Amino acid sequence: MTHKIAVLPGDGIGPEIMEQAVRVLKALDLDLSIDEAPVGGAAYDLKGHPLPPETLALAQASSAVLFGAVGDWKYDKLPREHRPEQAILGLRRQMGLFANLRPAILYPELASASSLKPEIVSGLDILIIRELTGDIYFGQPRGVRTAVDGQFAGEREGYDTMRYAESEIRRIAKVGFESAQKRNRKLCSVDKANVLETSQFWRDIVIDVAKEYPDVELSHMYVDNAAMQLVKAPRQFDVIVTGNIFGDILSDEAAMLTGSIGMLPSASLNSSGQGLYEPSHGSAPDIAGRNIANPLATILSAAMLLRYSLGLPAQADRIESAVRKVLAAGYRTADIFEENTEKVGTAQMGDAVLKALAG
């Protein structure tokens, strides 16, 4: 069976890092049909829109999208609907990508890159699953109004609505349990059930969904404690599942535990398993075009694509172990370089991964 993959390199370092990830995918000798299309600022320059209809159609017709990064300061003055970042929001919305998966892995060789002590973070391997399309970010009503009652009656007030429908909680909880089944079978659901009705409801539904997954150990944690535990003893976690706003904050906190943004992949999935896979970093215009960007986050995103959208976990393992080998052999791009390692460029890092794959 041919798997259709849409490759959207984007802006800044996007094309350079994508080139390496595509080389790695092609080296696996799988039946892949890979089509490329412009997105972000590059698409705006070519077609007048950051997410042209042809690019969206290609993404929708594919099993998975491999996305580089978008954005550049030169587009900052464009009206909001034409800014490069709108492409990601449009793809999320149009493809119904509701589950954001962000692993935070700290390879032992890179332990000194973390701002935490190596003994706390070395070997860290957690997966944060953030609900992406609901919660206070999208709840209605929202706006600014004049308060009609209470202590501040007559004053202007800003307000948003936190809400989650039962089906939204069920489907993200399912992703949480199923991801835990593929790992160490521990799921921690993060909420604020001691204060928020939405969170208490979230917790009740997660407990109900847990009945279908007796092999997964479920725990619950309040978000304030989770923020603390992530820096105190992060290795206690396997998979964390949480809502949009808490996940937004915790996934960035977890990313920083590793200290190396150039190493972190991510996935956003919809209910039919289609996904968009991208590095967690941006387009790094400050280093674009110089063959110094780290391509590993994108290469690891390609591994996630194989695992989560194409159902090829053994091939994903092959890429991930090739990356481990390359790090163990001492190859480093500038962002993760330390004394006594070998500094390589973007393309040379790609070469090293290809060699490790073959060896």
3-state secondary structure 189-201: EEECCCCCHHHHH
Is 70 a binding residue for ligand NAD by CB under 6 A? The answer is yes
Output the smallest distance, CB 209 to ligand NAD, in A: 30
**What is the contact mask toward ligand NAD in residues 9 to 48, using x (rule: CB under 6 A)?**
----x---x-------------------------------
Catalytic residue list contains 252? yes
Looking at beta carbons only, is 179 or 280 nearer to ligand NAD?
280
Q: Phi, psi (5° rounding) for residue 144?
A: -125, 135
Token output for 284:
């790094």
Is 261 a binding residue for ligand NAD by CB under 6 A? The answer is yes
How many H-runs (helices) and E-runs (strands) does the chain carry?
Answer: 12, 14
Is 216 a binding residue for ligand NAD by CB under 6 A? The answer is no
Is 97 a binding residue for ligand NAD by CB under 6 A? The answer is no
Token output for 114:
């973390």
**What is the contact mask toward ligand NAD in residues 295 to 324, using x (rule: CB under 6 A)?**
--x---------------------------
In a 10 Å sphere around its CB, with 0-12 CB exposed, 13-18 middle and 19+ buried, how is residue 76 labelled? exposed
Looking at beta carbons only, is 209 or 327 nearer to ligand NAD?
327
> Which stretches within 80-239 are classed as H helix?
86-95, 118-121, 166-181, 197-210, 223-232
H or E segment to which residue 63 belongs: none
Looking at beta carbons only, is 226 or 299 nearer to ligand NAD?
299
- Cα separation of 229 and 46, whole Å? 47
- Cα separation of 135 and 323, whole Å? 36
**What is the contact mask toward ligand NAD in residues 115 to 144, using x (rule: CB under 6 A)?**
------------------------------
Return the range that interacts with ligand NAD (CB under 6 A); candidates 102-110, 163-171, 244-252, 292-300.
292-300
Name the residue type at position 244. N
Q: Which of 267, 270, 232 is nearest to 253 (CA)?
A: 232
Give the residue, chosen from 85, 178, 253, 351, that forms a contact with ligand NAD under the rule CB under 6 A: 85
Name the residue type at position 305. L
Is 284 a binding residue for ligand NAD by CB under 6 A? The answer is yes
- Cα separation of 314 and 219, whole Å? 29
Looking at beta carbons only, is 199 or 283 nearer to ligand NAD?
283
The single residue of 191, 192, 238, 277 carrying the catalytic annotation is 192
**Residue numbers of the site for ligand NAD (CB under 6 A)?**
13, 17, 69-72, 85, 88, 261-262, 278, 281-287, 293-294, 297, 335
Which residues form the catalytic set?
A: 137, 192, 224, 248, 252
